[in-house]
Every structure is written in structure tokens, then in C-alpha cells.
Amino acid sequence: MIYLCLGGMYSGKTDAGIKLYEKLILKGGSHIGVQPASNIRDIDLFNPEVKSRSGRNISAVVLEDGSDVYVDELEKILESNQTVLIEEPHFPNLSKEGERRFVEMVKHYGWDQDRFSPEQFEELRMGVPMEDVSSGKQIIITSLDYYFNEDPVEIVHNLKPYSITRTGLAVCHQCSRPAHRTQMRVNGKPAPYSYDNKVVEEEGSDVSYDPSCVECLDVPESPRR
């Protein structure tokens, strides 16, 4: 089974993914978390973990985030483990071909279309409880569902038809409505659509993020606004 725990920054998606992971591993079998090397907030090279902002954490392996290396190593992990939590699989060095391979690989190991009728699977996706959904290989992915410029994270959106998806919610920092997006600021100003998040942080600029609703999100130069 494939589970997607999606949302913006501060939405609790990683915490939800770890809670699900802790529940599923009680069924037995080998298990591990996976981090890309670019996810620097969560990496301690001496004790790598997937960890949430609330402090919940699990042990992890760190994979180099060149496209071929990441996907090749991840396939070995998926093949040899019963339950795998994959943290933020989107990163700048993952090519379109790497994304395609990732999606097909996760579907190959996690999508068990023969276990459920289309009607049963749709009920699962809608959150209707069913018995024994945790047998078989379990793949949990925690990720942003939209980048800071409102572009969709295609690598997870392409998996939604094959997954049980849960979306976390934060509270908008301006109006307190449900926040489905993330406001990025560079030196106190809203980051324009063209900004490269990774490059900005490497240049040492003052970068901050806040949860935002769609209405309050400010993305200068955005073709959507």
C-alpha cells in the first residue's frame, strides 16, 4: 500500500507519516526511513533520522540526491524492507527521468491493485475504515504538495491515483483560515515566482516560511495571479 502524507510547511505531515509508520511496523518485518541528502534540516550524519517539528523521530538512511544514485539505492531499500517511510523525495537534482523512475518504482512495490475492487480502493482513499489494509509492503511518503511558488510537486501528485492520501493543515499566518500553501520570504519580502529556494538559502539570505491560505499567498510575478 502507498500512503501520501502531504501539506505545506508546519502542517504536521511528517508527524502524521511517522505516526503511521510506528503503527504499521507493529505488524513486523524490516523497516527504515529514507532522507535525501539535500534535506539538511533533518540530517545528523552521525545519527540520521526522519524527524518532525514536534520532536517525533525514527531512524533513517541518507541517500545522495543525484537522480540515478538516489533511485537505484532506494529500489534496494524498497526491495528488502516491509515498511519504508520516504521523506521529501523532491529535490533540485532529481531529473524528470528520475521522477518518472521514482513513481514507477513506488507503484511497482506499493500499489496492490489486485487486493481491492475499484469501489473498495476509492473508499480507502476517502478514509472509510477497512480491515487488514496494512498487509503487504507499506510505503509512506511525506512531502510538500505544492512548492512555495504554487507549482505542484509532480512526483507526489502523479502517485495520488494509486495512494491513500492524507493532507495536513496548518493555520494561515495572516487570516487564520486553513492553510494549503506556504509563504516564502527572502529578506522579509515575498519571494517572486522565479526564485530558486535552494540557491537563495545557499547565498545566505534571510529566508523564512509561514503557512498561508490560497487567498493570502503573495507570489510576485506568478502567472497564476
Q: Is 55 among the domain residues?
A: yes
Indicate whether 134 pLDDT > 70.
no
88 contacts: CB under 8 Å, gap ≥ 6:
35, 36, 39, 142, 143, 144
146: three-class secondary structure by DSSP: strand
Task: Check residue 224 and give its pLDDT.
Answer: 82
Residues 49 and 21 occupy one common structural domain: yes
213: pLDDT strictly greater than 60: yes
Q: How many CB atoms lie within 10 A of CB 55?
A: 7
Distance CA 90, CA 8 (A): 14
Do 169 and 7 touch, CB atoms closer than 8 A? Answer: yes
Average the pLDDT over 45-67 and give the result: 85
Residue type, 133: V
Are 28 and 119 within one domain?
Answer: yes
**Residue among 200, 161, 210 nearest 2 (CA):** 161
pLDDT higher than 60, residue 41: no
Asked, for residue 194, whether it belongs to a domain, the answer is yes
In this predicted structure, what is the pLDDT of residue 118?
A: 76
Residue 39 domain boundaries: 2-168
For residue 202, the surrounding DSSP H or E stretch is helix 197-202
Of 28-37, 70-79, 118-127, 183-192, least confident by mean pLDDT is 118-127
Same-domain check for residues 103 and 182: no
